[in-house]
Amino acid sequence: MADPGFVKVAQVSDLRPGEMIGVEVSDQQVLVSNIDGTIHAIDDMCSHAYACLSDGELRGKEVECPLHGGAFNAITGEPIAPPANTSVRVFQVQIEGDDILIGPPNS
Ligand code: FES
């Protein structure tokens, strides 16, 4: 049984290492990625302007924004390439069996 506040968004078996998807959780757009077999979740909206990071490229731990080429650490949400200079939020992740559950962002 999922913890309150956690929502199933996908299945682990549908997200291979190196892949990412954009999902919506409680009206928030969330980028879910599989990095070396571990599922991570950050804001899908770039902190620089209006662009979905899930439309960009995932290379290792780095997700590149499709609009101006800014990049973020897809695990920590920290900006790693300009013009992105503000972190995006990290969301809590739970795995139940094959289910990926996304919870609230870390404060
Ligand atoms: S909108 Fe993402 S780098 Fe500008």
Total-model pTM: 0.95
68 lines ligand 1 (CB under 6 A): yes
Quick: pLDDT tens for 33-65. 999 999 999 999 999 999 999 999 999 999 999
Q: CA–CA distance from 4 to each of 28, 84, 101 (Å)?
A: 17, 33, 11
Q: What is the CATH number of domain 7-105?
A: 2.102.10.10
| Reduced 3-state DSSP string for 49-65 | CCCEHHHCEEECCEEEC
- Sorted by where each begins, the domain ranges of the chain are 7-105
Q: Let me know the angle formed at the C-alpha of 41 by 39 and 105, rounded to the nearest 5 degrees.
A: 135
**What is the 81 CA–ligand 1 centroid distance (Å)?**
10
HSE of 73, CA atoms in CB hemisphere, 13 A: 9
